[in-house]
Amino acid sequence: MQNLLYNTMSFSDVWSSATSFVSDYNDNGIDTTITDEEATLLYYLLYARFGNSPIANRDVNQFKYKVWSIIWQYGPIWSKKLDVQNKIRTLTDEEIQQGTLGIFNHAFNPEQAPGTTQETILNFINEQNTSKMKKSKLSAYLDLYNAIAEDVTEEFIARFYNLFKQFVSPEKRLLYVEDIDDES
């Protein structure tokens, strides 16, 4: 159903439910790059931002393919960032305080010469030194805060802005006149 105030449909006119969005996403001919669960989440995020916004295209199919193209291009990055953020947010205090572990080995008179252009591991060592660091709670929390401070979803959703009319105000209805061949 076309909006009475605008010459194009709104996002919610194109997809009235997450089910129809996910169904179209899975059956559009472009490879899917995010899971159905992520596609459902994306529908609700797009609906929250653009639900009543009129689409920029008069051709609804072209609009849909622009949506699928953006998901195909940037969806995997968004998906992976969501996964990484979830892993970071679920770290325990002990895990965030773990620092680096450095292992330094030394071999006197090895029977093989180490390579100079590649990483070569010698077959034996004579001595080993280790260095294990532990972060202070403050340092650990600051590192965690900096890692989760970025909102990865906003960057992804912003890629869809150009698919919607930028100047939203009621429009005059378009009337199309057909040439009538009057042979009578």
pTM recorded for the entire structure: 0.72
| C-alpha to C-alpha distance for 84 and 13, rounded to whole angstroms | 34
Nearest of 83, 100, 82, 85 to residue 140 by alpha carbon: 100
Amino acid 147: pLDDT: 81
The DSSP symbol for 175 reads -
Domain ranges of the chain: 11-163
Buried residues in 4-32 as b, exposed as e (16+ CB within 10 A): eebebbbbbbbbeebeebbeebeebeeeb
Task: Give percent helix, percent strand, percent coil of the chain, each to the nearest 5.
Answer: 45, 10, 40
Backbone angles phi, psi at 142, to 5 degrees: -65, -40
113 — phi, psi (to 5°)? Answer: -85, 130
List the pLDDT tens digit at each of the 184 positions of the chain. 545 566 789 999 999 999 999 999 999 999 999 999 999 999 999 999 999 999 999 899 999 999 999 999 999 999 999 998 889 888 888 888 888 878 777 777 766 666 666 666 667 777 777 788 888 888 888 888 888 867 889 999 999 999 998 875 655 565 567 766 666 5
